Amino acid sequence: MARLRLFERMSLMNRDPEHARETLQSEEALLRSICDYVARLLNSREGSTLQDPEFGMPDFTHAGAGFSVDDEPLLRNRIVEFIGRNEPRLADVQVTFLPLEETRMALSFSISGRLKGEGGRSVPVRLYSDVTQQGKIDVRL
pLDDT exceeds cutoff 60 at 63? no
3-class SS of residue 66:
helix
Listed residue (104, 96, 93, 86) closest to 129, CA to CA: 96
**pTM reported for the whole predicted model:** 0.79
Band of residue 98 on the pLDDT scale cut at 50, 70, 90 = confident
| 6-140 classified as CATH 3.90.1560.10 | no
Q: For the chain, give every domain's residue range.
A: 6-140
pLDDT exceeds cutoff 60 at 86? yes
Distance CA 94, CA 110 (A): 8
